[in-house]
Amino acid sequence: MSSKERTADLVKYRLQNSKEKLGSAKLLLENGKFKDSISRSYYAMFDGFVKSPSAALCFIFRHWDVQ
């Protein structure tokens, strides 16, 4: 497997995790768990941004690493 293929697979996996978090956030919101929904939404967006194809080769593990 080439480096590009591994990167593409990793990005796909990470974006799927982001979508799952967003789905959880929606369920939490629908059930009145507003604070938990906000938190889950934040992490869905953070993961979606940090783990996007443009950031796939960056080593960003914490919030303060994003600049």
Query: What is the average pLDDT across 54-65?
Result: 56
- Could you count the other beta carbons within 10 Å of the beta carbon of residue 40? 21
**How far is the C-alpha of 9 from the C-alpha of 5, rounded, in Å?**
6
Q: How confident is the model at residue 51 (pLDDT cuts 50, 70, 90)?
A: low
Residue 54 has pLDDT above 70, yes or no: no
Residue 59 DSSP one-character state: -
Residue 36 has pLDDT above 80, yes or no: yes
SS3 67: coil
Among candidate residues 50, 25, 45, the one with its CA nearest the CA of residue 35: 25
Residue 59 has pLDDT above 60, yes or no: no
Residue 23 has pLDDT above 80, yes or no: yes
